[in-house]
Structure 1
Amino acid sequence: MRIGMGINYAGDFSETINNLLEFEAAGLDRVAVPEAYSYDAVSQLGYIAAKTETLELATGILPLFTRTPTNIAMTAAGLDYISGGRAVLGIGASGPQVIEGFHGVKYDAPLGRAREYADICRKVWKRERVEYEGKYYKLPLTKEDGGTGLGKPLKLINHPIRDRIPMALAAIGPKNVALAAEKFEEWQPIFFHPDHVDAAFGEPLKAGKAKRDAELGELQISVTTALLISDDDTAKDNARALVSHQVALYVGGMGARGKNFYNDLAVRYGYVDEAKTIQDLYLDGKKQEAADAVPDDLVRQISLIGSASEVKDRVQAFEAGGVTMALATPMDVDHAANVQQVRLLKEMIS
């Protein structure tokens, strides 16, 4: 298992990058830059590419609907070029609140579109003429499909550093998980509970892997988690409380009753009654009570918080669950302490 870390949307960017260099020296393998409706991820990653030497540079994630498939392919190829082959293209569907609310683009068929994005990106990186007859994307666009009829099948002018840039799909729904296992190098679930992988994801993973092209290699699994290796009980309790609030936000507030993918995930993990309670409390405006209702067992299983021996046990559980990349957010008191957290985790894994 390798170690990555996401960076925040806001703050002093120069300071963030200077700090990132120390994490790189401590053994960090990847940095992931998120994109929601704040600054774009790619411009930041371009700057990071110029300042770092070994870090993988991941978009975490680019929402599908914000760019055409060929534009995302060009962007990933450009980032891979300026970084000397360190790009990882993370994509996902986002949701209608952002896509329709902020971008003004209809949110439809995220599953089918993700499949076609993967196909088109790989054609671009191989410098094939981009001719594609999909359900959602047709290249070139013909008169019959609403174009002028003047479009020509083109191929990327530049020769990419790599003709297969790793692609990661953020997914927790069964159909999306199956697609990740079939078409993508990497799968990125949220709130990964290694002890319930089979119950929550077993069937879709099996179905996707049965169709997987051998050229893709083994499916990589990248998970976000919180990190604190400490013997200080108060510090550990405070860190777990922050995780509880994040879980409550997603399980309780990210969607309506009856249509919340994160709530469905908690149910698949076996927390049926707890998931309902969290959602009811959160949607009633009782956010602290919702966080208090998050099972302590769930928080402990999805995070790397505890004594050295406890975290070592969780690392082994993550690895047994197939995790190959832990995007770990260190939660110590200051930057120097957080660098040490990454160093300790690196030593533990090594």
Structure 2
Amino acid sequence: MRLGIQLGYSGQGFADAVDEVVEFEQAGAELVVVPEAYSFDAVSQLGFLAARTRTMGLASGVMQTFTRTPTLTAMTAAGLDYVSGGRFSLGLGASGPQVIEGFHGVRYDAPVARTREIVEICRRTWRREALVFQGEHYRIPLPGEYGKPLKLINRPVRERIPILLAAMGPRNVALAAEIADGWQALFLDPRAAGRVFGEALADGLARRDPELGPLDVSVPVPYALAEPTPALLGPHRAQLALYLGGMGARKRNFSNDLIRRYGYPRAAELIQELYLSGRKAEAAAAVPDDLVAATCLVGAPDEIRRRLDDLAAAGVTTILASPLAAARAERVKDVTALRQLLDDAGPTPPLSAER
């Protein structure tokens, strides 16, 4: 199982965070993922990280499909792969209508179909084809007397940059399993993964081109080798409340929908009601304790081993750790220990359509 590091949105203390990422790389971390919501963009930070790191992979988590043209997405990915010496993976996601329409002023429609077309356009661009694409949502070049097929001027470091799709709903998860190099999951409860995602994964994997290879499944997890005290788990509980209650409209919140499918319909309704009415602390308190525990990686070494086994059984191949320890030296020590625990656990069998 690969070990990655998931950075946060805040942008505060970025230089210190990058210094710490360099130490995580030396401790055995193989990947760093930079988010992009309605925060600072991921691209500028990834470029900085490319200059400071040497061997670890870099990934967006995620660049939004609606906010850049498909060819700009391809150009940006090729540029990040270039400056990093072939270490970039393109994490893509549709986000949701609250962010796309509310912050970017772009209509949120047909996310699954658009994602499929964007992936194909990116791959053609990286192969330096004279770009001609006639899809349902994107037409390149536009009809008329001025547009002409062009190809990328530069020769990319790689003509197949890995694409990782963020997905929660069944159709998006199936699409990731079918066409992407990886699936970026969020708030994955390994106890419910087979029941909630199994059919969608099997459907997508059954149509998957064997040339893509096994599907990488990555999961961000707050992490600490420590007693799971309320104080330590507080930030994770608050993040769950934010996503379940406020990261989406009342009638269209994908994280809220997910935990309903996990089996928490009453909690999902209550958290959203409390959060949207401004009672954020009460919303956090309403997050079920077992959901908090199931979506993090906190405890003594034996408990961490058991949780890693559960994640492996659910098909997870990449852990994206967010170290929780208060002191930097302790966070680096914890990452070193997690690298050893993952090495001891051995490889994770790839997902298959039958699994």
**TM-score w.r.t. structure 2 length?**
0.92
- After superposition, residues 218-233 of structure 1 pair within 5 angstroms as 218-230=214-226, 232=227
Q: Secondary structure at the match of 1:31?
A: strand
Q: Secondary structure at the match of 1:309?
A: helix
Seen in structure 2, the aligned counterparts of structure 1 residues 330 and 81 have a Cα distance that, compared at 3 Å, is same
Deviations 1:139-173 (A, max 9, x none): 11113xxxxx2211111122211111110111101
Correspondence for 1:31: 32
Amino acid at match of 1:206: A
Amino acid at match of 2:275: Y
Amino acid at match of 1:79: L
Please list every run of 5 or more consecutive structure 2 residues that lacks an aligned counterpart in the other structure: 344-355
Displacement of 1:263? 1.4
Correspondence for 2:3: 3
Displacement of 1:35? 1.6
Q: Does 1:321 align with 2:317?
A: no
Cα distance in 2 for residues equivalent to 1:158 and 1:42: 19
Q: Does 1:287 align with 2:280?
A: yes
Amino acid at match of 2:38: Y
Q: Does 1:179 align with 2:179?
A: no
Q: Does 1:216 align with 2:209?
A: no
Q: Does 1:89 align with 2:82?
A: no
Displacement of 1:95? 2.2
Seen in structure 2, the aligned counterparts of structure 1 residues 257 and 79 have a Cα distance that, compared at 3 Å, is closer
Cα distance in 2 for residues equivalent to 1:102 and 1:250: 17
| Count of aligned pairs | 342
Amino acid at match of 1:46: G
Q: Secondary structure at the match of 2:191?
A: helix
CA contact (8 A) 1:199 1:268 kept: no
Q: Secondary structure at the match of 1:225?
A: strand
Q: Secondary structure at the match of 2:243?
A: helix
Q: Secondary structure at the match of 2:4?
A: strand
Amino acid at match of 1:255: G
Cα distance in 2 for residues equivalent to 1:295 and 1:36: 25
Cα distance in 2 for residues equivalent to 1:94 and 1:273: 24
Seen in structure 2, the aligned counterparts of structure 1 residues 37 and 291 have a Cα distance that, compared at 3 Å, is closer
CA contact (8 A) 2:96 2:248 kept: no
Q: Secondary structure at the match of 1:221?
A: strand
Cα distance in 2 for residues equivalent to 1:263 and 1:201: 16
Cα distance in 1 for residues equivalent to 2:14 and 2:91: 22
CA contact (8 A) 1:166 1:185 kept: yes
What CA RMSD, in Å, does the superposition of the two structures yield over aligned residues? Answer: 1.5
Amino acid at match of 2:50: A
Q: Does 1:330 align with 2:323?
A: yes
Q: Secondary structure at the match of 2:268?
A: helix
Correspondence for 1:297: 290
Amino acid at match of 1:115: R
CA contact (8 A) 1:304 1:311 kept: yes
Correspondence for 2:132: 131
Cα distance in 1 for residues equivalent to 2:196 and 2:243: 17
Correspondence for 2:191: 195
Q: Does 1:243 align with 2:244?
A: no
- Identical columns (%): 52
Correspondence for 1:311: 304
The structure 1 segments of at least 4 consecutive aligned residues displaced by more than 4 Å after TM superposition are none
Cα distance in 1 for residues equivalent to 2:323 and 2:113: 36
Correspondence for 1:72: 73
Deviations 1:64-106 (A, max 9, x none): 1111111111111111111111001001112223222332222
Among residues 152, 155, 158, which one is paired with 1:156 in the alignment? 152
Seen in structure 2, the aligned counterparts of structure 1 residues 44 and 204 have a Cα distance that, compared at 3 Å, is same
Seen in structure 2, the aligned counterparts of structure 1 residues 3 and 305 have a Cα distance that, compared at 3 Å, is same
Cα distance in 2 for residues equivalent to 1:246 and 1:56: 26
Cα distance in 2 for residues equivalent to 1:267 and 1:199: 13
CA contact (8 A) 2:97 2:248 kept: no
Cα distance in 2 for residues equivalent to 1:178 and 1:208: 4
Say which is worse superposed, 122-131 or 101-110, in terms of deviation: 101-110
Q: Secondary structure at the match of 1:128?
A: coil
Deviations 1:206-240 (A, max 9, x none): 1111111111111111111100111x46xx32222
Q: Secondary structure at the match of 1:65?
A: coil
**TM-score w.r.t. structure 1 length?**
0.94
Cα distance in 2 for residues equivalent to 1:246 and 1:103: 23
Cα distance in 2 for residues equivalent to 1:238 and 1:181: 37
Seen in structure 2, the aligned counterparts of structure 1 residues 128 and 188 have a Cα distance that, compared at 3 Å, is same
Displacement of 1:299? 1.2
Deviations 1:188-207 (A, max 9, x none): 11100111112211111111
